[in-house]
Amino acid sequence: MKIKKNIAISDNGFIFDSNTGDTYSLNPVGTEILLLLKEGKQLPEIQKAILEKYDSDNATFEKAYLDFISMIRQYHLTEE
Amino acid sequence: MSEKKLPFERPIIKKLNVNVPNKFGLKTEYDPITSIDGVMVKDLIKEFGSPLYVISERTIRDTYREAKRAFSTRYPKVQFAWSYKTNYMNAVCNVFHQEGSWAEVVSGFEYDKAIANGVQGQHIIFNGPDKTEKDLEKAIKNGSLIHIDHFDELYTIAELAEKMEQKPKVSIRVNMDTGIYPMWTRFGFNYENGEAWEALNRILLNKKLELVGLHAHIGTYIMVPWAYGLAAKKLADLAVGVQTKFNHTIKYIDLGGGFASKNTLKGAFSPGTDTCPTFDAYAEAISTAIISSAILPDHMPILILETGRALIDDAGSLLGSVIAIKRLADGRRSLVIDIGVNLLFTSFWYEHKVTPAQPFTHYTEDSVIYGPLCMNIDVIRENISFPLLNKGEHVVISRIGAYNMTQWMQFITLRPNIVMIDMDGKPHVIRKAEQNESLTSHEITPDYLKKINV
Ligand SMILES: Cc1ncc(COP(=O)(O)O)c(C=O)c1O
């Protein structure tokens, strides 16, 4: 899964889609995941990075990650 | 190692709609409710289970005293009568009775409850359209205040009076136009068409009944105090008419219940906390109307109030837990909690305040809060901007003291414990959680249906 090129992500959790003019806000975990996706990272690497920093477990993270990805798709922020 | 890690919050993304009013409401600028009267929510749930009804004795007494002060500083003789149907848990009733409230009941079941709680017969007001002959006999024998709803009842009481050779103490319920909508005309005798005056004439000419008062209950969740001023004026006019024609003095005027609580009605533009009139505003309208009426100073009646929801809503909370967090097809968050409409009947009228019981960040999601019932009607909040909760975390639903512990439905699940937190912060179970046997013990399966083979 790839994030569209025209999506700008700021470190403080704002997204701007220059094609549509839409803006979005993210919480800190959401921001980190999106930045990693933008770098082209995939689930295993992202999971490792987040669980090293945040207090959670694999099952909790995976549920939350899948839910988050579904929203990114719904907002058409991904290619494909 | 894990001590050094940051707390994990579910990742969320939210579209920002510039200049579009958000139907999910404003950002959450409130704090979690972690404790009630000093007792931690998580400890209450651990000890008494989830969901759990919690009643604050302190809030009941504080609210009652505030209402009492508002009226008794404006009017010389004020008497509250606790409206049993609003919440007839015996412990709740007895807090009100300890504060000096009489009882107001609308069925034989409620009447017997008041007697069993120790209320003296002459301090029970018996309202409602359905009083059986047996109920009436009991009420007459005990000298209770019988509020007549219709002519059939009036004649039944007159017959019983003759048979029992006792003089029943009666009032009539009067319905009237006070400018509010809907106008309740199904209970009692109408003022405008002269029916109420006719009923009073029949009672006073009959001589077997003692007319002690006049009663009106104009509706519920009345947001305009002046409607009570009008009702009080009309009852005062009837009292003056009775005094003039029969030289009979009315002992009390009872204005029923109906004051709004701070809950927000569904579809309301502003929150109930902003729009709910104060007890002072109701008291001012009612006292002014009676004092400035043509009733002579020596004949000033006792003012009785049957206030229900406004006295108990704030004292009740419903604690629950998150069962699941789902995503609806339209992208909205769905939060399934263990509190359903079977336990929260008032969710059909109110947008109840739901608050997390543990700290949360300022991030929110557009959410729907569903109950646990496998039924489409089971919705606690349709549109709410809600913090990010996890499975197993707790919520507190506030202001649920009125009507839920009486109109609850035994549907799909069993009713949980009710605890009351006393003035020293000690919780007491005042109604035990139901068990399967609480219900099945009332069922009878015919013998021929006992054997099945599946
Ligand atoms: C006769 C009577 N009195 C008092 C009440 C209590 O009303 P509320 O809870 O609106 O104050 C009711 C409720 O419907 C009622 O019917």
pLDDT tens for residues A18-65?
Answer: 989 999 999 999 999 999 999 999 999 999 999 999 999 999 999 999
Q: What spacing in Å lies between the alpha carbon of B307 and ligand 1's midpoint?
A: 6
Residue nearest to atom 16 of ligand 1 (CA): B217
Select from B283, B313, B343 the last residue of a domain.
B313
- Rounded mean pLDDT of B85-114? 98
* Average pLDDT score over chain B: 95
Residue nearest atom 10 of ligand 1, based on CA coordinates: B258
Total CB pairs under 8 A between chain A and B: 69
Instruction: Please tell me whether residues B91 and B139 are part of one structural domain.
Output: yes
Same-domain pairing of B330 and B345: yes
A3, A71 contact by CB (below 8 A) = no
Give A27's contacts in chain B (Cβ within 8 Å): 9, 11-12, 361, 363, 388
Query: CA-to-CA distance for A38 and B259, rounded, in angstroms?
Result: 58
pLDDT band at residue B25 under the 50/70/90 scheme: very low
Q: Which residue has the tokens 């609850």?
A: B408
Residues B242 and B265 in one domain: yes
The predicted pLDDT at position B52 comes to: 98
Delimit the domains of chain A by residue range.
2-79
Categorize the per-residue pLDDT at B74 as very low, low, confident or very high, splitting at 50, 70 and 90.
very high
With cut-offs at 50, 70 and 90, classify the pLDDT of residue B183.
Answer: confident
Mutation to test the A interface, candidates B12, B19, B20, most A Cβ within 10 Å = B12
CA distances from B271 to B31, B128, B220, B262, B265 (A): 17, 32, 18, 8, 8
Task: Specify if B5 maps to a domain.
Answer: no
DSSP chain A: --B-TTEEE-TTSEEEETTT--EEEE-HHHHHHHHHHHTT--HHHHHHHHHHHEE--HHHHHHHHHHHHHHHHHTT-B--
- Taking the C-alpha atoms of residue A23 and residue A38, their distance in angstroms, rounded to an integer, is 17
**Cα distance between residue B384 and residue B366, in whole Å:** 6
HEC profile for B338-359? CCCCCCCHHHHCECCCEEECCC
Rg (CA), chain B: 25
Is residue B170 located within the same domain as residue B131?
yes
Q: What is the pLDDT of residue B3?
A: 63
CATH number of the domain to which B359 belongs: 2.40.37.10
Q: Which atom of ligand 1 is nearest to the CA of B309?
A: 9
B99-108 pLDDT per residue, tens: 999 999 999 9
| Domain that includes residue B128, residue range | 57-313
**What whole-number percentage of chain B has pLDDT above 90?**
93
Q: Residue B27 above 60 pLDDT? A: no
Report CA(B80)–ligand 1 centroid distance (Å): 12
Strand locations in B236-359 (E): 252-254, 302-305, 316-327, 333-337, 354-356
Count helices and strands in chain B by DSSP H and E runs: 13, 22
* Mean pLDDT across A3-15: 91
Are residues B169 and B228 both part of a single domain?
yes
> Is residue B119, in this structure, part of any structural domain at all?
yes
Interface check for A72 against chain B (CB to CB < 8 A): the answer is: yes
Q: Are A2 and A77 in contact (CB under 8 A)?
A: no
Express each pLDDT in B302-358 by its tens digit.
999 999 999 999 999 999 999 999 999 988 999 999 999 999 999 999 999 999 999
* pLDDT for the residue B320: 98
- B437/A2 Cα distance (integer angstroms): 57
Nearest atom within ligand 1 for CA of residue B127: 1
Domain A2-79 has CATH 3.20.20: no
In a domain, B28, yes or no: no
Residue B239 and residue B168 in one domain: yes
pLDDT tens digits for range B299-312: 999 999 999 999 99
- How far apart are the CA of B332 and the nearest CA of chain A, in angstroms? 10
Say yes or no to pLDDT of B22 above 80.
no
Residue B397 inside a domain? The answer is yes
- Do B411 and B300 lie in one domain? The reply is no
Any ligand 1 atom below 6 A from CB of B86: yes
Task: Confirm whether B353 is domain-assigned.
Answer: yes
Decide if A27 and B12 are in contact by the 8 Å CB cutoff. Answer: yes
Q: What is the pLDDT of residue B182?
A: 86
> Quick check: B15 pLDDT over 60?
yes
pLDDT of B2 above 60 = no
Q: What's the burial of A16, exposed, middle or buried (CB within 10 Å: 0-12/13-18/19+)?
A: middle
Q: For residue B88, what are the CA distances in angstroms to B206, B407, B441?
A: 36, 11, 23
Judged by phi (left if over 0) then psi (alpha if -120 to 50, else beta), residue B412 lies in left
Residue type, B232: A
ipTM of the complex: 0.96
Q: What is the pLDDT of residue A12?
A: 87
In A, which residues are within 8 Å of B7 by CB distance? 54-55
Give residue-wise pLDDT tens across range B286-298.
Answer: 999 999 999 999 9
Note the pLDDT tens digit of each residue in B250-274.
999 999 999 999 999 998 989 999 9
Confidence of residue B18 (pLDDT cuts 50, 70, 90): low
**Of the residues B272, B290, B313, which one is the last residue of a structural domain?**
B313
Q: How far is the CA of B249 from the centre of ligand 1 (A)?
A: 26
**DSSP class per residue in B51-86:** SEEEEEHHHHHHHHHHHHHHHHTT-S-EEEEEEGGG
Paired tokens of B90: 């015996």
- Could you tell me which residues are beta bridge partners of residue B183? none
> Cβ B2–A55 below 8 Å, yes or no?
yes
Q: How confident is the model at residue A11 (pLDDT cuts 50, 70, 90)?
A: confident
**A26 chain-B contacts, CB cut-off 8 A:** 11-14
Tell me if residue B48 falls in helix, strand or coil: helix
- Distances from the Cα of A62 to the Cα of A25, A48, A51, B123, B260, angstroms: 21, 11, 11, 63, 47
Q: What is the pLDDT of residue B29?
A: 59
C-alpha triplet A43, A49, A54: angle, nearest 5°:
115
Residues of B with CB under 8 A from a CB of A: 2, 5-16, 18, 325, 327, 331, 361, 363, 388, 390
Is residue B2 assigned to a domain?
A: no
Tell whether the model's pLDDT for residue B23 goes beyond 90: no
- A54 and B CB contact within 8 Å: yes
Cβ of B263 below 6 Å from ligand 1:
no
Contact B9, A20 (CB under 8 A): no
CA angle B104, B106, B109 (to 5 degrees): 105
H helices within B73-150, ranges in order?
A: 90-98, 108-116, 133-141
Using the Cβ of A42 and the Cβ atoms of chain B, whether some distance falls under 8 Å is answered with: no
Q: According to the model, what pLDDT value does residue B174 have?
A: 98
| Assessment of whether the complete model's pTM goes beyond 0.90 | yes
- B204: domain CATH number? 3.20.20.10
Pick the last residue of a domain from B262, B295, B313: B313
Residues B166 and B99 in one domain: yes
Are residues B229 and B324 both part of a single domain? no
Would you tell me how many other CB atoms lie within 10 Å of the CB of residue B198? 13
- The whole-number average pLDDT for the span B396-406 is 98
Task: State whether the beta carbon of B309 lies less than 6 angstroms from ligand 1.
Answer: yes
What is the pLDDT at residue B19?
53
| pLDDT above 60 (res B21) | no
Is residue B266 domain-shared with residue B343, that is, in the same domain? no
Rounded to 5°, angle at Cα B111 from B143 and B286: 75
The per-residue b/e assignment along B96-115, b for 16 or more CB within 10 angstroms, e otherwise, is: bbebebbbbbbbbebbebbb
CA distance A63 to chain B (A): 9
Same domain, B107 and B51: no
In total, how many domains does chain B have?
A: 2
Decide whether any atom of ligand 1 lies within 6 Å of the B258 Cβ: yes
B308 lies in the same domain as B318: no
Which two three-digit tokens encode residue B276? Answer: 């709910």
pLDDT at B392 over 50: yes
Contact check, Cβ <8 Å, A24/B13? yes
User: In angstroms, what separates the C-alpha of B7 from chain A's closest C-alpha?
Assistant: 5
Concatenate the DSSP letters of all residues of B365-386 into one string.
EEEEEE-SSSSTT-EEEEEEEE
Reported as a pLDDT band with limits 50, 70 and 90, residue B26 is very low
8 Å CB contact between B325 and A70: no
